[in-house]
Chain A
């Protein structure tokens, strides 16, 4: 089904659900890093944070995984876990 349509002047919803241009993907990377850190700081273990990205029920996190690729998301979660997950800290 085609979901595109021309904007109509009297349609107050015309701009909703529209993606924003982010050609470098930098915003998306930063958003994914923020998700990972915030959930880890709430006490989630890294495996469960990764599961959020893998689940299609969390469309934004899952969309980040699809766009950036699994290795990037894995390294984002691992990097955050290095600081915020007690079991994964590298001391020294």
Chain B
């Protein structure tokens, strides 16, 4: 297998194909601290792309209640278990020996991953001893796709009444401890496992925006992608006997939706987010697989400058392009397993936000068009205090968002005033 460079692992990695990077890459940041689990994003996707026959079980966008929820059922626990079987105790990280230069940081911001990825562990045969795989993975059983977030927050049926709802007005169980909502879509990975596993080469990554698509003409429904995707975001459709996956709302990202008059637009799940947790955009890529320095792109800033947004299960090795601001209340060991060694830094920065971070967080969900650049106009100092034992100064800066062509999209302030709709317009959009 050729070697490609995986910046999230801080090292070269074996992958079945040669390194080939798109010019720009579709990417997103989600702030888990704000997700309410309202499922508006899930339904926005469902009602746009997967409402037809044979797609009933398909939730390209879903929100699951961690730690126990998952769609398909226990997808991450199962994959972690497989990876651990293939490489016992191997999911560890070392401090990076790269120097402090900017390029080195972009190439290894979280240190170096010591263990094997799902590509490097493919020959372990832990899934099925009699078969080799191109990518370590498993095929979920049909029943595992059946219950997206069903019963994750509500009581299961009483003993002996399998498959029944609880009747007769019962109070919901109270969660006595932490949980959090993990919103997920396909990560349009830089090294897609779905693409690597397809024997028909029916899956391709678009050079213009890095969106990963399944060619429905070439697909023969072997489900190798379903087996290989560690995030289980490729799904089989029995009515067409092909696999399907999130298409990143590519007509919107291309700017062909009439709503924006040619401006690239964020996906349906991003635009619908009630909790204002989501931002999606396009980042510039270097041919070595790292992100081009683009200081004023908000995604670049959140991932590479502030380092508050982290990849989901980077150890899998696909270099996912979805990044998460981790939930600050969740035990750190769990979070380190899920988001890698950058967790402590990310939470510290998020809890005592620096001046620029506060302004950039205000950009979330103020517009449906993709933000390519932001600028900050300095405002007055509001006050100084301590947060969580650290000094903190609040400035009422103005942050301005620009589109692909440099035209202003909107401007907003750190101390954004609250507007409430009058009661007669509460539900009007």
Could you list which residues of chain A lie within 8 angstroms of chain B, going by C-beta atoms? 1-6, 11-13, 15-22, 27-28, 30-31, 33-34, 38, 42-44, 59-60, 62-63, 66-67, 82-83, 86, 89-91
Cross-chain contact B328 with A43 (CB below 8 angstroms): no
Residues of A within 8 A of B65 (CB): 16
Q: Are B174 and A83 in contact (CB under 8 A)?
A: no
Please indicate the chain B residues that have their CB under 8 angstroms from the CB of A42 in the complex: 276, 418
The chain B residue with its CB closest to the CB of A11 is B162
B155: A residues at CB distance < 8 A: 3, 17
Centre residue among B68, B144, B330, B417 by max chain A CB count within 10 A? B68
**Alpha-carbon distance A17/B166, docked complex (angstroms):** 14
Say whether B418 contacts A44, CB under 8 Å: yes
- Mark each residue of chain B from 119 to 157: 1 if its CB lies under 8 Å from any CB of chain A, else 0: 000000000000000000000000110110011111110
A–B pairs, 9, beta carbons within 8 Å: A3-B155, A3-B156, A16-B65, A18-B68, A21-B177, A22-B178, A67-B176, A82-B385, A83-B392
Alpha-carbon distance A39/B269, docked complex (angstroms): 22
Name the one of B159, B177, B382, B416 contacting A4, with C-beta atoms under 8 angstroms. B159
Q: Which residues of B contact A13 (CB under 8 A)?
A: 73, 147, 150-151, 156
The docked-state distance in angstroms from the alpha carbon of A3 to that of B172 is 11
Cβ–Cβ < 8 Å partners of B330 in chain A: 27
Judge whether B387 and A16 touch: CB under 8 Å: no
Q: In the complex the two chains form, what is the Cα distance from A84 to B176 in whole Å? A: 27
Interface residue count on the B side (C-beta < 8 Å): 50
Q: Does B222 contact A (CB under 8 A)?
A: no
Q: Which residues of A contact B176 (CB under 8 A)?
A: 19-20, 22, 28, 63, 67
Quick check: A17 and B418 within 8 Å, CB to CB? no
Given contacts A2-B158, A44-B418, A83-B385, contact A19 B175 (CB under 8 A): yes
Q: A1-B170, A13-B147, A16-B151 are in contact. Are A43 and B416 (CB under 8 A)?
A: yes
Nearest CB of A to B347, in Å:
10
B33 on the A face (CB < 8 A): yes
- List of B residues within 8 angstroms of A34 by Cβ: 33, 327-329
Q: Could you tell me the distance in whole angstroms from the C-beta of A19 to the nearest C-beta in chain B?
A: 4
List of A residues within 8 angstroms of B177 by Cβ: 19-22, 27-28
Task: Please give the distance in Å from A9's CB to the nearest CB on chain B.
Answer: 12
Contact (Cβ within 8 A) A17 B383: no
Assess the B172–A2 pair: CB atoms within 8 A.
Answer: no
Q: Which of B175, B327, B394 is close to A60, meaning CB atoms less than 8 Å apart?
A: B175
- Give the distance in Å from the alpha carbon of A62 to the alpha carbon of B143 in the complex: 34
- Beyond A83-B387, A83-B392, 9 additional pairs, beta carbon < 8 A: A3-B166, A12-B147, A16-B151, A20-B177, A34-B328, A59-B175, A86-B415, A89-B382, A91-B383
Known contacts A3-B156, A30-B329, A31-B329; decide if A63 and B174 are in contact (CB<8 Å): yes
Complex alpha-carbon distance, A28 and B73, angstroms: 26
A-contact 0/1 string along B326-365, CB 8 Å cutoff: 0111110000000000000000000000000000000000
In the docked arrangement, what's the CA distance between A17 and B143, Å? 19
User: In the complex, what residues of A have CB within 8 A of residue B166's CB?
Assistant: 1, 3
Residues of A within 8 A of B416 (CB): 43
State the CA gap A90–B170 with chains docked (Å). Answer: 45
Q: Known interface pairs A1-B158, A5-B159, A63-B175. Does A15 touch B68 (Cβ–Cβ under 8 Å)?
A: yes
Residue of A nearest to B174 (CB): A63
Interface string of B60-98 (1 = CB under 8 A from A): 000001011100011000000000000000000000000
User: Complex: how many Å from CA A4 to CA B394?
Assistant: 49
Closest to B153 in A: A17
| B150: A residues at CB distance < 8 A | 13
A32 to chain B: closest residue by CB: B329
Query: Which chain B residues border A2 with CB–CB below 8 Å?
Result: 158-159
Nearest-CB distance from B296 to chain A (Å)? 23
CA distance A18 to B276 in the complex (A): 28
Closest B residue, CB atoms, query A33: B329
* A-chain residues with CB within 8 Å of residue B385 when the two chains form the complex: 82-83, 89-90
Q: Are A17 and B151 in contact (CB under 8 A)?
A: yes
